[in-house]
Amino acid sequence: MDTTALVIFIRFPHSGKVKSRLARTLGPEKTAVFYRLCAQQIAQELDRVPGKVKKYLSYSDSSDEDEIRHWIGSRFMLIPQVEGDLGQRLEQSFRGLLEGVSGKAIIMASDVPDLSTGIINKAVSVLDNHDLVIGPCSDGGYYLIGMKKPHVELFRGISWSTDKVLEQTLTIAGEQRLSVFSLITLRDIDTGDDLTEWVRASAGISNPILEYARAVLTVD
């Protein structure tokens, strides 16, 4: 199989149900708009990936299925996530994608505004010669992970939602003697400080997400 499954882990941007830590700074409604813009941008970047790919949106709340489908899901296949923590959801997703469906699978976050088509293309190509590709986040997590076989041990015993996620994952990969390719480090936007630092680091760049972020950070 030479098809690559490209998957965005996503939520519908209900006010008060996304990015709770960021909402402490922006408030729930502005946070929902920011998340919506990020997710839409990443979906557009994924749309431009060439080659033999299958594109999915993977959602965690079953009640969101219809809204996601009407939002940006019409051009993607939708797949529900299982119950459990992030590790359990990643494990089951890779099992389902790689056991008879695709030759490669890559799962990415929906809150990393600098994730681009070029980075996704790189992730697809390096899996030809590596067991694992991972996109590090500046906070110690990762925004993207891809593989050709379901190495489920990578999702067990991880301190999720901490700055140890990437370190622990790479330690397990080393113990399993997996060849790993690390992509460029990006920032995921979890807090108001994350947003402020990202905007400052993006001086001179203009796009809808940045323009919105600049506007809401200067309000008041």
Domains of the chain, by residue range, sit at 4-218
Tens digits of per-residue pLDDT, 26-51? 999 999 999 999 999 999 999 999 98
CA distance 55 to 190: 25
Structure tokens at 122: 């790189």
CA distance 26 to 148: 39
Q: How many CB atoms lie within 10 A of CB 61?
A: 14
Tens digits of per-residue pLDDT, 73-105? 788 999 999 999 999 999 999 999 998 767 999
Q: For 146-188, what is the HEC assignment?
A: EECCCCHHHHCCCCCCCCCHHHHHHHHHHHCCCCEEECCCECC
In this prediction, residues 45-61 reach a mean pLDDT of 93
Ramachandran quadrant class, 18 (left: phi over 0; alpha: psi -120 to 50; beta: rest)? beta
CA distance 165 to 177: 18
pLDDT averaged over every residue in the chain: 94
Closest CA to 190 of 109, 78, 86: 109
Please report which residue ranges of the chain form alpha helices under DSSP H: 20-26, 28-47, 65-71, 86-98, 117-126, 165-175, 192-201, 208-218
What pLDDT, on a 0 to 100 scale, did the predictor assign at position 1? 63
Tens digits of per-residue pLDDT, 98-153? 987 679 999 999 999 999 999 999 999 999 999 999 999 999 999 999 999 999 99
Asked if residue 160 lies in contact with residue 87, where contact means CB atoms within 8 angstroms, the answer is yes
Q: CB under 8 Å to 30, separation ≥6 — which residues? A: 216
Closest CA to 45 of 189, 127, 144, 130: 144
Structure tokens at 44: 């557009």
Asked whether the predicted pLDDT for residue 196 surpasses 90, the reply is yes
Q: What is the dihedral of CA 182, 187, 191, 197, to 10 degrees?
A: 140
CA distance 59 to 38: 16
Does the 4-218 domain belong in CATH 3.40.50.1000?
Answer: no
Q: Which residue has the tokens 């990006």?
A: 186
Confidence (pTM): 0.95
